[in-house]
Structure 1
Amino acid sequence: MEVRAKFGEVVPFVSLVIIEGCTIGLTIMAKTIITNGLSPVVFVVYTSALVTIILLPYSFISSCKNRIIKKLLTFIFLKLMLSLANELCRITLTQNLTFMGLRYSSPILVCAMGHLIPAFNFLLSVVLRKTKFDWRSTSVQVKVIGTLISIMGAILVEFFKGPLIRNSSDHQLQHSKQLFIYSTTSEHWVLGGILLAAASLSVALWNTVQMGAVQKYPEAMKVLSYYSLLGTIQCAIVSFMVERDPSAWKLQHNMEILVIVLTALFGGVIRSHVHMWCLHLKGPSYVPLFKPFGIAFASTFGVTFFANSLHYGSVIGAAITGMGYYTVMWGKFRGDEENIKQGYETSDSSDKKVPLLQGEMEV
C-alpha cells in the first residue's frame, strides 16, 4: 500500500512536469519554423486539421465502447449551436493570435501572457456578474491581489526586457541558429505581447461561454472533436483570406511536417489525456498548479541552448505573472471551498466533468 501511495504521488507529478517541458520544447520548434518562413495561419490550419482527423474516429470509437447512443439530429443541432457561439474564440482567435504573437516574441513571453488567463477569467466573471463581488470575502480579496500582480508582471515583461542573461560571440549565435531560433527583433516584442494578451483574453471568453455548453452536453470527446472540426473550417476560411499566396501552403522542409505532426499529437491528444488522467486521480485543483513550470523550462532552455535570447526583465516579469497566477488560483480554490461549506455547487463543476475543454494557449 505504501509503494502504491508513493506511486500515485510521484507519477502524476513527473507526468505533468514532463508535459510542461514538452510544451515549451514544441513552442520553440514552432517558433523556429514560423521564423524560417512558415505562415502562422497555415500552421494553425494544418495542426487543427490533423487534430480533427485524429479525434473524430477516436470519439466515435469511445462513444460506441461506452454504449452512449444519441440521436444524430440532436447531436448535430446541439453541437452546431454551441460551436457557432464558442469556436471563434477557442480555436480561430486563440490559436491564430497565439502563433502570430509567438512569431513576434519568444516562448518566455508566451508563458507570461498565458498566466493572465485566470485573472481575465475573474475579471470577466465580475463584469458579466457570474461571480458575486463581495469584498469581505477572503477569496475575492486574494483574486484581486493576484490579478494586480499578474497585470504588473505582464507590463514588466512587455516593456522592460533588461540586459541579456548570457552574451555570446557571433560565431556561437550563428551556430545556435542552425537548428532553433528562440527570439526575434526587439521592435516587434510589444506587438507580440499584445497579440498574446489578446489570445489569453479570448481563452477567458471561451471559458466563460463554454461552461453552460458542458453542462448541457457532458460528453468530452464528442464536444472536443466537433469543436475541432468546426474550428478547422473557420481557421481555413480565415487563412485563405489572410494568406493568398498558394506557395505559402506548401511545406518546404521535413522539419515543418515533423513539428505539425508532433503539435497535433501532443496538443490535441497526449496532453489532454494526461491532464484528464491526473485530474481524475488528484482532483481539479492539481493540474493547473503545473502551468507556471513552463517559465522554468523556457528560462533554462534559453540560457542553455539559445545565445543572446533571454533577458533579465523577461524572466523577472514572467516570474511575477507566475506568482499572480498562483495567487488567483489560490483565491479560486478558497472560494470553491467556501461554496462547498455553504452547500453550493462550485462554479467550476463543469470543468471537473470535461477537463479536455479547459482553455489552452500553448501549442
Structure 2
Amino acid sequence: METNKMIMVLTELVPCMLMVLMEVSTIGLTILASTILSKGLSPFVFVVYTNALSSIFLLPFNSFIIRRNKRDDLITQFLLLGFVGVTMAQNLAYVGLSYSSPIVACGMGNIIPSISFILAAICRRTEVDLRSSSTRTKLMGTLISIIGAVSLVLYRGPVIKDSSTHLRLAPRLFVFLATKEHWVVGCVLFACASLAFSIWNIIQVGTIEKCPEVMTVASSYTLFGTVQSTLVAIIVENDPLAWRLQFDMGLLVIVLTAIFGSLIRTHVHMWCIRRKGQFYVTMFKPLGVPIASTFGCIFFAETFHYGSMMSAAVTGIGYYTMMWGQMREDESRRGKVDLLEEKAPLLQEEDQV
C-alpha cells in the first residue's frame, strides 16, 4: 500500500520538478546569454552558432520518413518554420535581449497566447462568441496581457537597491541589464519576436499534422533556419572577427544553449505532455517571471526595477487567464462530442424501430 502511494506521489512530483527545473535552466541560460552579448558577442552570430550546433545534435533524429508526394510541400513548410521560428523570432529575441534584460523576455513571452488568439480571430480560425464564457475569459486574458506588456515598456519604476548604497565586493561576473541599454527598443523587439513565435506555432501545428515525427520536424526547420540565419548574419556583420570564438564563457553558453534547446527541453516537454496532457507544459511558462525576479532581486538588485517585475507579473496573470479560457473551451467541446456519441446509439435504435 505504501509502495503504491509512493509511486503515485512520484508520478505527480517528478513531472512538476522537471518542469520547474526547465524554467530555472531557461532563465539561467538567458542571464548567461545576456552576459556574453553585453561583452561583445553578436546576437546574430550567437543564433547561427547555437542553431548550427543544434542541427548537428538533432541530425540522428531526422529520419526523413516522408512520402514522395508530400516531400515538396513539407520542405516548403520546413523552410517557413525555419524562417519564422529561427531567422526572425530568435534574432529579434536575442537582439532585444542585448538591449534590455531577461525579465522582458519573460514578460513578452507571456503574451504569445494572446497574440495567437488575436491572429486566429483575424484569420477566422477560431469562433469569437461573446455569449460564451470561455471567449469572454480569453478576451479578458488578452486585455490583461496587453496592459502588462505596455506597462513593461513604459514604466520601470525604482531599482530594488540603489547602487550608491550597495557595496560591491567583487567585479560583476554576470549581467542582468544590458550594458548598451535601449529599453523601449528591446521591449518592442521582444514583442515582435512573440508575434513571430505565435505565427510559428500556427504553422507548426499544420506541419505536424502532415509529418507526425516531431523530432524530424525540429531537425529539419532548425537546419533550414541555420542556413537562413547565416545569410542574415553575413549581411549584418561585416567584420570577420565577429565570427571568431575563443575558449571562454561565450563558447560554453553556445554549447549549453544548443544542448538544452535541441535535446533536453524538447524531450522533457514531450515526456511530460504524454503523461500529463497538452496543457501541463504550458502552465509552467509564467513561472519564469518569479524565477527571474528572484535572481534579479538577490543578485542584480542595483539594475533590477520594481516596475518591470510587476508588469511581467501582470502578463503572467493574463497568460493564466487565457489558458483558463482555453481549457474551458476544450472541456465544452469534449462535452459536446460526448453528448453526440451518447445520442448516436439512441438515434440508431429509433431508426431500427
> TM-score, normalized by length of structure 2?
0.91
Q: 1:21 aligns with which of 10, 21, 24?
A: 24
Indicate how the Cα distance of structure 1 residues 107 and 164 shifts in structure 2: closer, same or farther if over 3 A, else same: same
Aligned equivalent of 1:46: 49
In 1, Cα distance between the equivalents of 2:262 and 2:122?
31
Aligned ranges for residues 1-363 of structure 1 at < 5 Å? 1-60=4-63, 70-71=66-67, 73-74=68-69, 76-169=71-164, 172-173=167-168, 175-177=170-172, 179-184=173-178, 188-343=182-337
The 3-state SS of whatever aligns with 1:133 is: coil
Q: Does the CA-based 8 Å contact 1:116-1:150 persist in structure 2? A: yes
Indicate how the Cα distance of structure 1 residues 51 and 302 shifts in structure 2: closer, same or farther if over 3 A, else same: same
**What residue identity is the alignment partner of 1:300?**
T
Please identify the structure whose Cα radius of gyration is greater.
Answer: 2
Deviations 1:101-132 (A, max 9, x none): 00000000110000010000100000000001
Indicate how the Cα distance of structure 1 residues 242 and 270 shifts in structure 2: closer, same or farther if over 3 A, else same: same
Indicate how the Cα distance of structure 1 residues 74 and 222 shifts in structure 2: closer, same or farther if over 3 A, else same: farther
1:311 positional shift: 0.7
Q: Does the CA-based 8 Å contact 1:29-1:180 persist in structure 2? A: yes
In 2, Cα distance between the equivalents of 1:219 and 1:180?
39
**What residue identity is the alignment partner of 2:9?**
K
1:343 positional shift: 1.9
In 2, Cα distance between the equivalents of 1:203 and 1:39?
21
Aligned equivalent of 1:355: none
In 2, Cα distance between the equivalents of 1:85 and 1:227?
8
Q: Does the CA-based 8 Å contact 1:176-1:307 persist in structure 2? A: no
The 3-state SS of whatever aligns with 1:234 is: helix
Runs of 4+ in 1 over 6 A off after TM superposition: none
In 2, Cα distance between the equivalents of 1:210 and 1:18?
25
1:79 positional shift: 2.8
Q: Does the CA-based 8 Å contact 2:154-2:184 persist in structure 1? A: yes
In 1, Cα distance between the equivalents of 2:205 and 2:36?
35
1:155 positional shift: 1.0
The 3-state SS of whatever aligns with 2:279 is: coil
In 1, Cα distance between the equivalents of 2:224 and 2:308?
36
1:70 positional shift: 4.4
In 2, Cα distance between the equivalents of 1:217 and 1:8?
30
Q: Does the CA-based 8 Å contact 1:173-1:308 persist in structure 2? A: no
- Which range is displaced more, 192-201 or 267-276? 267-276
1:59 positional shift: 3.5
The 3-state SS of whatever aligns with 1:342 is: helix
Q: Does the CA-based 8 Å contact 1:176-1:306 persist in structure 2? A: no
Indicate how the Cα distance of structure 1 residues 300 and 226 shifts in structure 2: closer, same or farther if over 3 A, else same: same
Question: Sequence identity of aligned pairs in percent?
Answer: 48
Matched length: 335
**What residue identity is the alignment partner of 1:290?**
F
Say what the alpha-carbon RMSD is for the aligned residues. 1.8
Q: Does the CA-based 8 Å contact 2:77-2:203 persist in structure 1? A: no
Unpaired runs of at least 5, structure 1: 64-68, 345-363
In 2, Cα distance between the equivalents of 1:248 and 1:201?
28
